[in-house]
Amino acid sequence: MNESSWESDLKITWQGSLGRFHTAPTIEQSRSVRFVWAADLAGQGWGRNPNLTITAPATWKVIATHDPLSIVTGSSGDYDAGAQDDQRILGREAQLQDLLSFIKSEGIDNVVFITADVHFPAAIFYHPREAVFKDFNPFWEFVIGPIHAGAFAPPGNLPLDPSFGPSYEFKLFPAEPNLPPPHQQFFGSMEVDGQTAQLTVKIHQITGDIVYEKIIKPK
């Protein structure tokens, strides 16, 4: 047990702990990988290193970001995520535009986004055919929320920001606004099959019951 003078004054103590970190299996191992996620995820915005050279042989590339890409949150003049409720590329959407264009130009396949920070779960598909900005490959975004907060739909049930051609395949709004826990609480799981490399995404109630499942084949 370690204790500093100021910690002693505040009656605060801390103790280190040991654990193990497992990296993803190599190509030779070919075993399945599974992980879960829930609100909130770390990170703001979508940056990239312009000098980065992609050499990793990973089949799936999962990008975790704090904010949804097209779900409008906040209100006019104070939108607090990337989406701006406008078909033009505005604010932090310029970062996402750059990232998606980079992914396409570098030939990076099998990219999915996982996001959180809203109060309902959703699965959203993005296609350049429906988008204002079209220089990107189609991709999926899976949204989780909440895990321990009131459940509610976007303010005013606003539609998705159209900049990147999103459409809901799944969404689950509560029957009444600000429904308290333990109702409408969710987490997500992903599993890559070690033999087929298929990605299975599931959205679970806090009880573990599955409310949505998607199987995606790799390119």
Nearest Cα neighbor of 119 from 157, 82, 84, 88 is 157
Structure tokens of 155?
């303010």
Asked whether the whole model's pTM tops 0.85, one would answer: no
Give 2's pLDDT tier (boundaries 50, 70, 90).
very low
Look at residue 130 and tell me if it is in a domain: yes
Look at residue 108 and tell me if it is in a domain: yes
Find the domain containing 68 and state its range. Answer: 40-179
Which residues face 81 on adjacent strands? none
Look at residue 78 and tell me if it is in a domain: yes
Per mean pLDDT, which range of 29-33, 74-78, 89-93, 165-169 is the poorest?
A: 74-78
pLDDT of residue 156 exceeding 80, the answer is no
On average, the pLDDT of the chain sits at: 82
Domain count, the chain: 1
pLDDT tens track for 36-75 = 877 665 444 555 666 666 665 688 999 988 888 999 887 6
Look at residue 184 and tell me if it is in a domain: no
Look at residue 66 and tell me if it is in a domain: yes
pLDDT tens track for 113-138 = 998 888 899 999 999 999 989 999 99
Look at residue 69 and tell me if it is in a domain: yes
Question: Which 3-state string (H, E, C) describes 44-111?
Answer: CCCCCCCCCCCCCCCCCEEEEECCCCCCCCEECCEECCCCCCCCCCCCCHHHHHHHHHHHHHCCCCCE
What DSSP character marks residue 27?
A: T
pLDDT of residue 13 exceeding 50, the answer is yes
Which residues face 123 on adjacent strands? 142, 170
Look at residue 6 and tell me if it is in a domain: no
Cα angle 127, 46, 146 (rounded to 5 degrees) comes to 80
